[in-house]
Amino acid sequence: MNIALYSKVVNENNLKTIFHLFRKLQSKKINTLVHSDFLKLLKEHSDLQDFELKEFGSCKELGSNVDFLISIGGDGTFLDTISLVRDSGIPVLGINTGRLGFLSNTPNSEIGETIEALYSNNFSIEKRSLLQLDHSKSLFGDDNFALNEVSLLKKDTSSMIIVHVELDGTHLNSYWTDGLIISTATGSTAYSLSCGGPILMPGSGNFVITPIAPHNLNVRPIVIGDNSVLKLRIEGRSESNLIALDSRSQEIKNNEEVTLRKAKHKISIVQLNNHGFIQSLRNKLNWGLDKRNQ
């Protein structure tokens, strides 16, 4: 078995977690590949002579022989792995050393059980849809997809922007707002939720359009089918605004149009027993913690 590892933070707090994971993988004689940036950080903090580690730096270097990619960190770290696995079909599992962790939903206290589950094939795979962004200038190159959301945001001004939205060839609305979020079902528990959007089950087959602080209070989030095609255009007082795919952002000029649609490929996420989406909702949002339920 071959398992790749990715993280972007190495400190005294998570070194124990990382080394515990290395030792567990080594005890199972699992070939371990470590992302080059992660390996560089590790070498700055500790001696790695006790571990047999190989290095990779890109999706091409992962190849087709990797069985899993493990993300060590929070949801932001997990989102970075989407650009590494791309359309390879490599399943991703997140070990949470961050805060909330809807994507990285495996506690770092359960590393031993996690590797045993992967080794014994005791897990399930969830396929998650991605949003693909198309733009005449290829703003994000071939890394033009997002697992959580695409956000259009004002830049360098306190004034609102206007986002004109066309849904499947029909004008939907011109949003007077601080920004607009187009979220996948996976991302419905992220930025969209904090702006009043609904929570969607991962397999619901929907996207959510959520305005950020809209000027018209009767403009609310709307759920659309994930086979829809959206065209968006921003107007504002600044010459340029921001467009973000998950945590990656670029400037976009006024009146430039972007098209959003469901990507052709999906991301495979490893779900261990008792760590599914419903369990995460209850644990992360403290559902059921009410004296009336006791």
Whether 118 and 27 share a structural domain: yes
Q: What is the average pLDDT value for the chain, to the nearest integer?
A: 91
Structure tokens at 281: 């909702």
CATH number for the domain that contains residue 29 = 3.40.50.10330
* 246 in catalytic set: no
Q: What does pTM read for this prediction? A: 0.91
Is residue 293 pLDDT above 70, yes or no? no
Same domain as 103, residue 41: yes
How many structural domains comprise the chain?
2
CA–CA dist 93, 19 (Å, integer): 17
Report the distance separating Cα 143 and Cα 145, nearest Å. 6
Q: Would you place residue 135 in the very low, low, confident or very high pLDDT band (cuts 50, 70, 90)?
A: very high
For position 231, what pLDDT does the model report? 98
Number of residues that this document lists for the chain: 294
- Mind listing the pLDDT tens digit for each residue in 263-285? 999 999 999 887 778 888 887 78
Whether the per-residue pLDDT at 146 is higher than 80: the answer is: yes
The residues near 48 (Cβ < 8 Å, ≥ 6 apart) are: 39, 42
37, 67, 75, 246: which is the annotated catalytic residue? 75
In degrees and rounded to multiples of 5, residue 90 shows phi and psi of -65, 125
Q: Which residues pair with 53 in a beta bridge?
A: 32
pLDDT given at position 291: 60
Q: Which residue has the higher pLDDT, 105 or 118?
A: 118
Domain that holds residue 280: 2-128+266-293
Statement to judge: residues 172 and 227 lie in one domain: yes
